[in-house]
Amino acid sequence: MDFFRMGDSEVAPFIAFLASMNREERGRLISDPSFCLFLFRLFSPSTQSLILSLIWDSTQLIRIDERIEPDISCVTLLEQLDIVLQNGVNNTKILNPIFRRGYLSGALEGSHRSSRFVPINSEKDIDKKKKKDKDVVKKSNERWECLLRFLALPSESTVQNVSSTTRDVLNHAGFTSGHGTDIEITSKGFQFLLLSPVKQIWSYMIELLKMETREGRSVKELLDVLLRMALCIHSEPENKKYEVDNSWTERQCNFVTHLRELGLIFIRKRKDGFFYLTPNLANLCLANHDDSLTKKSGSIIVETNFRVYAYTSSSLQLAILSSFTCMTYRFHDMSVGILTRDSVRKALQVGITANQIISFLKTNCHPESLSTSLPIPITVSDQIRLWEDERKRLIYQEAALYSSFESEKVSWIKYICII
């Protein structure tokens, strides 16, 4: 599993957000070694290779010519992030020396030292590791599910389980509409629910940062905490205890409390002075590899006759599934539905796409379905796309209508139109 990395044809959400920031604040971030190390790990392999060649040869210049034609997109992206700068000589570009120093400093120190978090180890922790691991995973999943349940089933009971900050983020992102107890999910919110866990957490964090930016507050303080925590994540979260940094500002402490609410970190009691990293935080370090997550949490089986079996009692999962499926039977731990033209079209009308429906079914596939070559029957996925294509029979374009011409000018207008 490759952590932090996006495919060559994709850009990580955080990189896209970083490119939209103002240059001054982006420059302050690039000077931080932990930020440089995290950002480097988000880049595609080809971009990483280009950066490394420039880092280890500081005299090397980038010349835009036929030799690097395949790397032009990488160079353009690095220019937008101010990692590559114009040299002013013969259309050449150089690596930003501030980024070079920051990355080398972070790479030499290593992830843990760059994070500046102090792990706490004790014999008691080793003896209770298995029990602790299960507890951390369970609590983190429950907290994140509280957010999803509020979004899917907004009510007085679900509102009490999320903070005002969470409600504000979802409202600013356009996932919900209304205020107080009169809250409804929007089509954009439904699309958010259909995303994989990795993309859900990334989308939420980006919307949180955007909200802070719109309100005129710097995000450097928040990113400093978040990225330092992410650097402690490796191939699998170790669930070590880390000391709470006493130098955090009040705003950073509130942000850490919010991360606890989201299930990205686990704090038993605030007075303990330490926290655990959770698997949900690892999702911020994942790019586009969701297979490991689906194998652990999948509960849906789709058959060639369009029947859908959900082996779950989760009201959240069933609410999402019923948004594009006609539910026919419900038992304690299993529900049965069927994908029909009307149920799918109902979802399409609120902005959900065929690819999102198929992606949701794949992401939540039962392990038995994942063991086959096609977890979603090709007849089902093709039919869902065909139902979507039915709504695209007409192509709309802007046009101008001319009418009420005098009779003697009609022939002249026709002549002009033909020309």
**Is 206 part of any domain?**
yes
The number of distinct structural domains making up the chain is 3
**Is 165 part of any domain?**
yes
Q: Write the pLDDT tens digit of every residue in 142-173.
A: 899 889 988 888 877 788 889 999 999 999 99
Q: Are residues 105 and 125 in the same domain?
A: no
Q: 292 or 90: whose pLDDT is higher?
A: 90
Q: Which two tokens stand for residue 183?
A: 């809250």
Q: Write the pLDDT tens digit of every residue in 255-291.
A: 999 999 999 998 887 777 888 888 888 877 765 444 4
Q: Are residues 131 and 255 in the same domain?
A: yes
Q: Is the pLDDT of residue 65 over 60?
A: no
Q: How far apart are the first and last CA of the chain?
A: 61
Cα–Cα separations (whole angstroms), residue 404 to 401, 408, 419: 10, 12, 21
Residue at a domain's end among 94, 114, 134: 114
pLDDT of residue 173: 92
Q: 124 or 240: whose pLDDT is higher?
A: 240
Residue among 27, 7, 84 nearest 50 (CA): 84
> Residue 46, CB half-sphere, CA atoms under 13 Å: how many?
14
**Is 159 part of any domain?**
yes
Q: Are residues 152 and 168 in the same domain?
A: yes
pLDDT of residue 125: 54
Q: Are residues 296 and 381 in the same domain?
A: yes
Q: 343 or 109: whose pLDDT is higher?
A: 343
pLDDT of residue 45: 84
Q: Which two tokens stand for residue 292?
A: 């490991």
| DSSP one-letter code for 3 | B
Q: Are residues 339 and 256 in the same domain?
A: no
pLDDT of residue 295: 45
Q: Are residues 173 and 304 in the same domain?
A: no
pLDDT of residue 267: 87
Please state the rounded mean pLDDT for residues 47-54.
Answer: 86
Q: Is the pLDDT of residue 326 over 50?
A: yes
Taking the mean position of all CA atoms in its chain, how far away is CA 412? 58
Confidence of residue 199 (pLDDT cuts 50, 70, 90): confident
Confidence of residue 419 (pLDDT cuts 50, 70, 90): very low
**Is 185 part of any domain?**
yes
Q: What is the dihedral of CA 87, 93, 98, 99, to 10 degrees?
A: 170
Q: Write the pLDDT tens digit of every residue in 183-194.
A: 888 888 888 988
Q: What is the mean pLDDT of the chain?
A: 81
Q: Are residues 66 and 150 in the same domain?
A: no
Q: Are residues 83 and 129 in the same domain?
A: no
Q: Are 219 and 25 in contact (CB under 8 A)?
A: yes
Phi/psi at 105 (5° precision): -65, -45
Structure-token match 């907004």, residue found = 154
**Is 356 part of any domain?**
yes
**Is 400 part of any domain?**
no
Q: 311 or 74: whose pLDDT is higher?
A: 311
Taking the mean position of all CA atoms in its chain, how far away is CA 198? 5
Please state the rounded mean pLDDT for residues 374-403.
Answer: 88
| DSSP one-letter code for 216 | T
State the pTM of this model.
0.77
Q: Is the pLDDT of residue 9 over 70?
A: no
Q: Are residues 233 and 327 in the same domain?
A: no
C-alpha span between 339 and 343 (Å, rounded): 7
Domain housing 314: 291-392
Secondary-structure percent of the chain, ordered helix, strand, coil, rounded to 5: 55, 10, 35
| Helical pair 23-30 and 220-230, crossing angle rounded to 10 deg | 40
Residue at a domain's end among 230, 256, 282: 282
Residue at a domain's end among 114, 129, 148: 114
Q: Are residues 192 and 153 in the same domain?
A: yes
Q: Are residues 124 and 108 in the same domain?
A: no
| DSSP one-letter code for 67 | G
Confidence of residue 384 (pLDDT cuts 50, 70, 90): very high
Q: Is the pLDDT of residue 210 over 50?
A: yes
Q: Are residues 141 and 260 in the same domain?
A: yes
pLDDT of residue 61: 61
**Is 351 part of any domain?**
yes
Q: Is the pLDDT of residue 29 over 70?
A: yes
Structure-token match 């409390």, residue found = 257
pLDDT of residue 99: 92
C-alpha span between 238 and 121 (Å, rounded): 12
Residue among 12, 11, 9 nearest 285 (CA): 12
Helix (H, G, I), strand (E, B) or coil at 134: helix
**Is 5 part of any domain?**
no
